[in-house]
Amino acid sequence: MAAGDSLPALVALSLVEAFFLQRTIFADETLRTVILGALGVNVLLKGIWSLIVWPLLFNPLRHLPTIPGFMNHAKIIFDSPRGRTPLEWMKTIPNDGLIHMRDTISQSYLIATNHQALLDIMSTNTYDFEKPWRARNFLARILGFGLILSEGPAHKKQRKALTPAFNIKNIRAMYSLMWEKTNDFLEEMEKELRLNPMEGTNPADGVGKLEMGVWASRLTLDIIGPAAMGRDFRSLQNTDNKVAESFLNILEPTTEKMAFLAMNFTLPQWIAQRVPWRLNEVVANETGFLRNLCNDIVREKRVALTESKASAKDLEADILGTMMLGGDFSDTELVDQMLTFLAAGHETTAAALTWACYLLTLYPDYQERVRAEIRSQIPTGDSPITHTDLESLPLLNGVCQEVLRLYPTVPATIRESIRDTIVAGKKVPKGTRIILCPYAINRSPEFWADGDSFIPERWIDTDASGKMTPNNNGGASTNFAQITFLHGQRACIGKDFARAELRCAVAGVVGRFAFEMQDPKQEIHVAGAVTTKPVEGMHLRMRRVDGW
């Protein structure tokens, strides 16, 4: 018997029906008193069953290692950085793949900790788990009901239809676009540095200051626009770009936004959206603008394709065209997919580039070594490149992989079992919440030696002759040791796109500039409602390095 199937709840429902029936037929006050009293007793019994009897006597998860207390799920939401506390639990609580905790109403949560648990949740029994509907409905305000938020058969259909657009051949064909935009990025940053020279320097010296997070977001927006929908937003050249501003307003990391997120994950949207909180208006305005933008793009592309009778090759020039060619989506569904790619496809990589710059200020020797490696392969910053030029560089790839491991853009996510299932050999009842925590898994001693340390060499193999080549496992024994992009049927469909984009961006920035923190003593805090960013921003002192 599951917690939601208790007899008192069924009796209470019948009595409620009887109560409303008797109001129209009977006027007997005694009968009404008896019915209301019985209803109260059954509500009490339901509470006792849910809060005490089921969790302590019947829940099959009660024998698992359990974290004491009832507010631990809130700790995860407001953790800084998010994932730090689950990582501590993984290090200190002996377990066989699952750690159990309860919320304030005794609902069970499980934290997956080992290969088998992660395999069962993300691959073997993937469709036994879905994102909780309240979280899904809130995120849909930002992302639309595209691939990320679809579930079950709808997800299978969408995944199948979108996979051709993200095959490795198409991703590698996009390197030229990514490199072109990276060069625009470098040129615009140089202009900014000349306008904002560091104190005591000559503007002609090319030493200036800027905030990398904003610039990284502009770069990735200008890549995803043409790649996903054939629209160049030119946010690099236009600092007042409305699209970039909208995402900044929604995703800027603040404590208020974390509290807003928690409220929306707790309450149904029809209640949450009526709470008199200014962020409701902000989200409504910004997401309304973005949805209208995507509507316009889909409509314009549909008209242009009809009038021009474009060929299949023309259609495949961007992801939206490929989707239209497939004919699997209505225009409304195309808008949802575009919202998803616009948000997930640029903010995630922008955050990764920001953290890459941060780590390379902490480890300047790696910055110098990566610069030397890039310049040995690519003669100048505006030289044309192929995918091989960047994918073959072992240290560049090692740095990018460590950034993605240590600073996953989405540090924790949640699922709910929609039926009784099995995880790591344990029966998991329907309605159990499952926490997947990339931040913790990617650093866990279960998988990594010195998991908290930045060691790009993990991702480099050296043969007997001393030749170095990139590897894709970081020395871990399983692919599930790094779940930045998740795995299995729900793995991020754009993971290869994101890695290519990050390679180009890091190669460009490090190839042309030497950089350090403007204030070396500044403490950086990791936060963010959907993606993780530095709360203080990433304020860098940058200098152009001659010769590239």
Q: Which residues are annotated as a binding site for heme?
A: 492
**Rounded (to 5) percent helix, strand, coil in the chain:** 60, 10, 30
Q: Which residues contact 307 (CB under 8 A, 6 or more apart)?
A: none
The 3-state DSSP class for residue 436 equals: strand
Q: How crowded is the C-beta side of 365, counted as CA atoms within 13 Å?
A: 3
d(CA 422, CA 47): 27
The 3-state DSSP class for residue 108 equals: strand
Q: Smallest Cα–Cα separation from 226: which of 191, 184, 187, 164? A: 184
Q: Which residues contact 247 (CB under 8 A, 6 or more apart)?
A: 217, 221, 286, 290, 343, 346, 347
Cβ–Cβ < 8 Å for 478, 447: yes
Q: What is the DSSP string of 361-418?
A: HH-HHHHHHHHHHHHHH-SSTTS---HHHHHT-HHHHHHHHHHHHHS-SS--EEEEES
Q: Smallest Cα–Cα separation from 217: which of 254, 260, 165, 252? A: 252
d(CA 72, CA 121): 21
Q: Which helix (H) or strand (E) holds 98?
A: strand 98-102
Widest Cα–Cα separation across the chain: 96
The 3-state DSSP class for residue 526 equals: strand
Q: How crowded is the C-beta side of 50, counted as CA atoms within 13 Å?
A: 18
Cβ–Cβ < 8 Å for 461, 399: no
Strands 539-544 and 207-211: antiparallel
